[in-house]
Structure formats: structure tokens, C-alpha cells
Amino acid sequence: MSNKVIAIVVDGMRYDKACEALGYIQHLVETNQAALYKVKSELPSLSRPLYEVLLTGTPASVNGITSNQAVRLSSEKSLFHLTKENGLRNGTASYYWVSELYNRAPFDFMEDREQEDETKPIQYGKFYWDDDYPDSHVLMDAEALRRKYDPHFIYIHPLGVDVKGEIFGSESKEYREQILKMGSLLAQLLPIWIKEGYHILITSDHGMSEYGNHGGITDGERDVPLFIISPKVEPGVYSEVVPQLAFAPLVCELLNIEPSNKMISYQLPGLKGKNTL
């Protein structure tokens, strides 16, 4: 069984809207080829703190990334660090804040757009900084990295859904259309990745309120989906709400590496051959 993981974090995609609009992915759920969970995001429900949560499995009170204004390297061990330490390759196509958390802060727009350095936590990276950089380009940046470097762990982070949500709100035509577009893009790539044996996780950092903001405690701001396509996870729709801190140790389990000592132990419903995460 493969130990390669592709993780797609669709920024700002709330649970209910993802369930309504991601048609092909829901087809995989309906035909017992994928699992669907509801994840409760950590607080504050903001992007930079939750990138750190997803990638290190630590909460803001531990890692100190408490706001979007925390421009510094993470002091925690991330999935990028762990893959590198275990002799695995990693790569990402992400918003530049991810580079600032794990490779260099502040981001140098001239030098850090494309990165290839196996000594860094993020070994292969393509980063963008314009909020309206097309989601299609982010996904193709990631696919180019996958085809060139064959990383064991690929982290993909498109921002378009968050941008439309913040401008128009979660109940808008524009927000729904952007999620539909993301579903169409993923429908083109998922069959390729599935055929090549990847474990695939699709989730979000936070949701979006009807007013076009996030950072608070409402369900719309905190509830996000987690779709999993993997032979190690039983397909189906699960009712148990998963803590967001369980994402990083789940990735470690799928990569077949040990989690960091700060990651939580959690029993994911449907995970085969493992009692706890």
C-alpha cells in the first residue's frame, strides 16, 4: 500500500456549502469510494493560526500563532519537518504564509516564489501572494511539483473560495460558484491521483459567515469538511465531529511515520488497523 499523501486545504470552505457543491466528490462518497467527516476548526478561526494547527497538530495557545499578523517561523515540528526527518520528500503549492511559517520569514517575493532545497523543511514549493491568484493555477502548480519531484507528501492550498466568501458572504451566488469551480478542478485531478495510489484528504482551515468574515465561534465559521479517499479509511458519512487537531496525526498515520510528541491521540472512526491516532 502506498504511503503517499495529497492534502488539499480549500481556504474558507464551510462544511454545508462544500457538501452541497462538490458534486464529483460527493459521488465518490455515495458510491462508497470516499469518506466524509465534519471537522470543528480550532480557534481563532483565522487562516495563519489554522495553517499552523493543520500542519503541526498544536493549538494556538501552544504554538503562539494567534493571529494573521504573527509573521514568524513556527517553533513547532510540522508535517514538513517530519517527512524530511523520515527520509520522505515533500512539496507544496500554497499561499506565501505557509512559506513564512516553515522556511523563511518574512517572505521574499523575488527569491521565495519557487523553492527547491532539500535541506529546508519545505523541500519543493511554489508560492503565491496575490489573493486572486487562480485556484486552477495553484492546483496545476502542485501537479507540476508532483510530476517533477514525486513527493510523498503534497500540501495544496487554494485561496479563491475564501476570497469570494469574504467579498460576498457565504450565502452568495459567488461563494457557491467558487466551490463549484473547485469541485470541477478536483474532478479532473482526483481520478489521476486515485489511479496512482495516493491517500487524498480534502478539507479547509475555517468556514465563512453569511457576513463574509471569520475568526469567531459560530458553526458557519468553524465547521469544515474532511473528505478522505484512502484504502485505509472505510467509506461512508460519519456523524462524529472530528477535532481539527486530529488532521496532522492522521497524515502521519497515512505516511506511516511517527507523529510528533505534541500531537493528540485520537481514534478516527473508520480508520482501518489502528486503534488510536
Rounded CA gap, 34 and 27, in Å? Answer: 9
Q: Does residue 8 register a pLDDT over 60?
A: yes
**C-alpha–C-alpha distance, residues 277 and 274, integer Å:** 8
What CA–CA distance (Å, rounded) separates 199 from 99?
A: 24
Q: What would the mean pLDDT of 246-252 be, rounded to a whole number?
A: 98
Q: How many CB atoms lie within 10 A of CB 192?
A: 12
pTM over 0.95: yes
Determine the pLDDT at residue 1. Answer: 72
User: pLDDT tens digit string along 150-184?
Assistant: 999 999 999 999 999 999 999 999 999 999 999 99
Residue 274: pLDDT band (50, 70, 90) is: low
Q: Is the pLDDT of residue 67 over 90?
A: yes
Q: Mean pLDDT score of the chain, rounded to an integer?
A: 97
**Residue 273, pLDDT above cutoff 80:** no
The C-alpha angle 140, 144, 150, rounded to 5 degrees, equals 135
Listed by start position, the domains of the chain span: 5-255
Range 97-115 average pLDDT: 98
Helix (H) or strand (E) holding 128: strand 124-128
Give the separation between CA 234 and CA 35, rounded to whole angstroms: 7
- Cell numbers linked to 22: 462538490
Q: Per-residue pLDDT for 97 more than 70?
A: yes
Query: What pLDDT sits at residue 2?
Result: 82
Mean pLDDT on 97-125: 98
Are residues 109 and 128 in contact, defined by beta-carbon separation less than 8 angstroms? no
Measured CA to CA, the distance from residue 199 to residue 171 in angstroms comes to 32
Averaged pLDDT, 237-253: 98
User: What is the topology classification, in CATH, of domain 5-255?
Assistant: Alkaline Phosphatase, subunit A (3.40.720)
Residue 109 has pLDDT above 90, yes or no: yes
Res. 254: pLDDT tops 70: yes
Phi first, then psi: give them for residue 223, nearest 5 degrees. -85, 120
The whole-number average pLDDT for the span 181-207 is 98
